Structure 1
Amino acid sequence: MEAGVLSVDLQGASVHRLGGRLQVRDAEGVVRAEVPAFKLHAVWLFGGVEVTNAVLRLALSEGPVLHFLTRQGRHRGCVGPEPGHRAALRVRQYRHLSRSRTRVPFAREIVRAKLKTQLERVRAWSRNRKIGMADVIEFLLAALDLLDAETTVDGLLGLEGTATRKYFEGYGRLFTFDFGFRGRNRRPPRDPVNALLSLGYTLLYTEVLSAVLLAGLDPYIGGLHAVKDGRCSLALDLMEPFRWIVDELVLARMNLATFTTKDFRQDVDGAVFLQPAALPRFVAVFGERLAAPLALRSAGSPTVRQALRTVARGVRGVMLHPERPLAEVLQPSAGAQP
């Protein structure tokens, strides 16, 4: 059975441990949910939700990983297993991702995997929706051709950023309704599409971060994203090839009117966020996508959650055995194992 996620957004609620179960109680002490802990690999806690000391101890010893988010969906931090017995692995990770001769190829393969998935999605959208995307396809192909010529991480980041801006230019053509989307913006998002993209990326980030922690890797030491205090750079690296999952989910749900402009609010500074009442609906559809096959029409495809764990374990294998090609690890269906 695949472990899942418990999401708690009821303000004033608290999470308790009763033996091998986690119990959610509202502010009056009424039990709202109860789940066996072994069925969970993560818990999402939105806003003013408290956890008991017993739950914290469980998270630190064996999981699930607790993720603390604001009511708007911004990730504030997490508590998860601290694999002290993985010290040797982490030393190898630090060496691999701090030396230019190994860090740059690592970063290059992350960008290559991301651009390939963007190209695949754009081609599929163009074919299925009969919308012209020739300019975007040509741009992404050119960016892929230039990857091997880039010899610095900064150069790779610049190439990835330019290609992604073009990708979102094409993405904006796909919406049935005008939601004011004119490209990617964040911190804060300025339109409903960007609000859902930001929230979806945050939830995806928590999944990748959980997978990285459970694999025994240090989430703060990445290859593409530079080391920065408080930033889980490796988790950000590994989510790059999977961002399309959020893009596709948001596109589908907005075009199906699962979410409309009434589900969003705008602050005085122009920031747009999902209404609190609509948050559980998005969390639910995102959770369904995590449990669905990565390739929806491919028999035997791993679920999204399984794929993320496979990639994290595969990266662990690359840290221990640097001769292993990262490109294969970033293809979950290949079943890379440590």
Structure 2
Amino acid sequence: MKKSYYLFNPGRLSRKDNTLQFTPVDEQGKEGPCRYIPVETVSDLYVFGNLDANSAMYNFLGKNGISAHFFDYYEHYTGSFFAKDYLLAGKMQVEQTRHYTLRNKRMVLAQKFVEGAAFNMLKNLRYYNNREKDLAQIISQIEGYATQISATSEVAELMGIEGNIRQTYYAAFDTIVSGFTMVNRSKRPPLNEVNVLISFGNMMCYSVCMDMIYHTQLNPTISFLHEPGTRRYSLALDLAEIFKPVLVDRTIFRVLNKKEIQPNDFMTDINGCVLKESGKKVFVKAFEERLKETIKHRTLSKSVSYKHLVKLECYKLSKHILNIEEYKPFKIWW
């Protein structure tokens, strides 16, 4: 089975026969022992350190359908390499564009994304509220905001409600998490440990959504809740709204409450707070375990992984756009 590989150290990636060869290089330019990765086992690469690779290497990755996602020193997602879009279809492109340009069709999908996100956030809060964390007031506030979703007529109005829901939801983190405080949501740069993990986890979730979209006929640049940009795969942002509470937030609660990540896994400087390599490895391991975890799917009547749930969401969205079946956002049912 193919899987994701994470390259934390700077180094050089090259081809050796039908194998990927990664040679770590330290700050003094000294090479470490090579690591060999059979290409048939790789689904994608997550690159956190400086990577030296030539065009022949990327041609090799492209021919084998391997994508690479890049992050900078501050855990910001900076871009991805994808192989040629081999599944894009003209009919899907036309219909997806139509669902964006017709306001009533766009609003239906945009509302569904916020509805799914709000439901999954509330599910997290109720879980901890039932475990002696007093979150009743926050839950009530979000429930009130959620009732306004269906009444919106403009995306900007809907985004305002989504922002209120998420701001209220984040206010619960200081009650849920032990040993760390979040205070307020801060980005670019995140100012404390909890904000660092949220930003890092959100980028990981965004990358997973991009990768799953790539394996469908959907065009990743045409979105419905987030405004399509000139240089980003904005449809992944739409899908990530639904899955961040399930994949990212629950991972954060685990690694902090179980003390898998400690204060010394972070570093604070004038540019904000940064997750050290030790912390990244712990978080990535927990995030991967979450993606591989399986649940019994009610419709398919079989066990599927969380990662596969993201791909199923893409298929559901595709059916809606092609007028085959109405889209219903993923909502935690357990």
TM-score (norm 2): 0.89
- Structure 2 segments unaligned to the other structure (5+ residues): none
Deviation at 1:222, TM superposition (A): 0.6
Q: Which residue of 1 aligns with 2:123?
A: 120
Cα distance change of structure 1 residues 34 and 317 upon mapping to structure 2, 3 Å threshold: farther
Q: Which residue of 2 aligns with 1:57?
A: 59
Equivalent residues in 2 for 1:77-92, closer than 5 Å:
77-83=79-85, 86-88=88-90, 89-92=92-95
CA-based RMSD:
2.3
- 1:94 aligned to which of 73, 97, 110: 97
Task: Select between 53-62 and 100-109 the one with higher mean Cα deviation.
Answer: 53-62
1:111 is aligned to 2:114: yes
SS in 2 for 1:24: strand
Deviation at 1:39, TM superposition (A): 2.4
1:79-132 superposed Cα distances (whole Å, 9 cap, x missing partner): 1122256240223222222221211101000000000001111111111x2111
TM-score (norm 1): 0.88
Q: Which residue of 2 aligns with 1:22?
A: 20
1:10 is aligned to 2:13: no
SS in 2 for 1:302: strand
Q: Which residue of 1 aligns with 2:196?
A: 195
Structure whose residues are more often helix by fraction: 1
SS in 2 for 1:108: helix
Q: d(CA) in 2 for partners of 1:292 and 1:236?
A: 23
Q: d(CA) in 2 for partners of 1:290 and 1:22?
A: 24
Kept after mapping to 1: 8 A contact 2:49/2:72: yes
Q: Which residue of 2 aligns with 1:336?
A: none
Q: d(CA) in 1 for partners of 2:118 and 2:181?
A: 25
1:257-306 superposed Cα distances (whole Å, 9 cap, x missing partner): 1112111111214x10112343222222222222122689xx95421211
SS in 2 for 1:86: coil
Equivalent residues in 2 for 1:1-338, closer than 5 Å:
1=1, 3-11=2-10, 13-27=11-25, 31-83=33-85, 86-88=88-90, 89-127=92-130, 129-177=131-179, 179-244=180-245, 245-269=247-271, 271-293=272-294, 300-319=302-321, 321-327=322-328, 330=330
SS in 2 for 1:326: coil
SS in 2 for 1:106: helix
Q: d(CA) in 1 for partners of 2:35 and 2:120?
A: 37
1:172-201 superposed Cα distances (whole Å, 9 cap, x missing partner): 211221x23113221111110111111111
Q: d(CA) in 1 for partners of 2:65 and 2:291?
A: 19
SS in 2 for 1:22: strand
- Structure 1 segments unaligned to the other structure (5+ residues): 334-338
Aligned residue pair count: 324
